[in-house]
Structure 1
Amino acid sequence: MFAKLFTVFITICLASFTNLCAYRLGKGDVPWSPPRSYCPHCHHPLYWWQLIPISGFIVQGGHCHFCHYQISTYDTVCELACGLFAYMLATPALFHSFLVIITIQALLFICSCDYYYQCLYPLSLIGLLPLFLIIPSWSLPDLATWIIIMMVLIALAIMVRLHWLGSGDVIFIAALLFTFGLEDTAVIILCACLITLPFFYFHRQAHLPFLPALCLATIIGLTITCS
């Protein structure tokens, strides 16, 4: 139990920093400059107690301590979700928990980049490599499966040309195909579509970010697979 709680604690703390990295990199800044986080509305540097994941949001009542501007719930929801999935996936084995932390942070970074700026850094997919070790009984696809995967990727590329999907979505789905396989990837995409539908219905956005839903569906699928 202690190992799980420790994994959850580390995951939540890193989730806060991962969101910061995604937000600053998208603006063309670097994660460590400026050294202290600040309110995006009044630009006042934040105190240490405001930076504590989850509790900082609760103590401030969801509003900036200085200008009373409403704080986005995105960071807090991500921290809670990351902690929950870390608890469900972590084991007493230190190496396995380390792989879980890396995978969750990689998915969160991909999710946040698309959420904030509708972009994907291809290098961030390296963080998904631990999936090959986390997924039980993973094996290389056979020749027939490879052919089907190639056909699926060609179809996805056509969708990009037709502006039905973004190139980042296709790259991420390709990574899923090589890790989860055809059937599980199809289930993940279906789950992501179901997650996206309510947001599309209520917001009516022409270009709704799809990677956040794909990342959430991926971690749900991973949790089910490993349970």
Structure 2
Amino acid sequence: MDNLLILLFFLLGLIFGSFFNVIGLRIPQKKSFTNDRSVCPQCQHPLSWPELIPVLSYMMQRGKCRHCNGSISLLYPVIELTTGVLFVFCYIQSGLDFELITALILMSLLVIILVSDIRYMLIPNSILLFFFPLLVLARFIRPLDTWWSSIAGAFAGVLIIAIVILVSRGGMGAGDMKLFGLLGIVLGFEKTLLALFLSCMIGAVIGLVLLLLKVIDRQQPVPFGPYIVIASIITYFHGDILLGWYFHDWLQG
């Protein structure tokens, strides 16, 4: 039974991941994702259902459009597989508990933000506004151990990023600030601070590697959203362990 549920959540993740690709790519361009058919971005040819099977279509077509032979972005199968793995991990960590719903909603938000920020360096307000009441309701039904931690986390996320924006004169965007405010509701105060720290650390390490490999230069703007996404996933699932390890060493020291 457990293996069947794992398979079910993985398949659901693949399907939703395909949908999240569409949302993340169309919302920033103010395009409908409910009525318009999917088309090849190069030749604009409408895609049939065999061309829309998550991951499999990409593999069968060898990453090429069947109509114009144009390259299909690797982002599509990567996001589908990532969502599948995250959905499975949500089930493994939470089981069939209400927190599973919170986890799935949070992962959905993060995957959509990942697509949008990678492609357009933009975190749309409409996406954040859609998920805001869902996450507030989820935390109302299943609050954190300290109920006020969600409120403190939201304020901390917004305030700290606002200060960074002012000090750096635009080093981070308002979308990052609003996203951290939303994350604060789910993570709580301590984990929001941890996610902030981890996102900066991950961003610094990856940025340095990209600079050394000459993939980017010092003047090139880089989206910060992916680092927030990675840090938030780590914090949500393993934040208690990391905080416990840190405070244990600090107290021992």
Same fold (TM over 0.5): yes
- The change in CA–CA distance for 1:209 and 1:130 in structure 2 (over 3 A counts) is farther
Equivalents in 1 of 2:14, 2:68: separation in Å?
26
* Aligned-partner Cα distance in 1 for 2:89–2:143: 14
Q: Tell me how large the CA RMSD over aligned residues is.
A: 3.0
1:160 corresponds to: 165
- In the superposition, the TM-score normalised over structure 1's length comes to 0.82
Unpaired runs of 5+ residues, structure 1, are: none
- 1:177 CA displacement: 2.9
Partner of 1:105: 108
- Say if 1:106 and 1:149 are closer, same or farther in 2 by CA, change over 3 A: closer
Residues 13-52 of structure 1 aligned to structure 2 (within 5 Å): 13-34=15-36, 36-52=37-53
Shift of the 128–58 alpha-carbon distance from structure 1 to 2, 3 Å rule, reads: farther
Number of aligned positions between the proteins? 223
Alignment of 1:121-132 (within 5 A): 121=125, 122-126=128-132, 127-129=134-136, 132=139
Shift of 1:57: 1.0
Q: Which residue does the alignment assign to 2:199?
A: 192
Amino acid at match of 1:159: V
One-letter amino acid of the structure 2 residue matched with residue 62 of structure 1:
G
Moved more, 199-208 or 43-52: 199-208
CA distance in 1, matches of 2:220, 2:135: 29
TM-score (norm 2): 0.74
- Tell me, what secondary structure is at the counterpart of 1:3? helix
Structure 1: distance between partners of 2:6 and 2:144: 20
How much identity, in percent, do the aligned residues show?
24
* Distance in 2, Cα, partners of 1:219 & 1:135: 19
Q: Structure 2: which 5+ runs fail to align?
A: 242-253
Deviations 1:94-121 (A, max 9, x none): 7554443322222222222222331322
Equivalent position of 1:179 in the other structure: 186
The letter of the residue matching 1:113 is S
Residues 11, 86 of structure 1: 8 Å contact kept: yes
> What is aligned with 1:222?
236
Pair 150,222 (structure 1): closer, same or farther in 2 beyond 3 Å: closer
Q: Hey, what's the Cα distance between the residues in 2 that align with 1:102 and 1:150?
A: 21
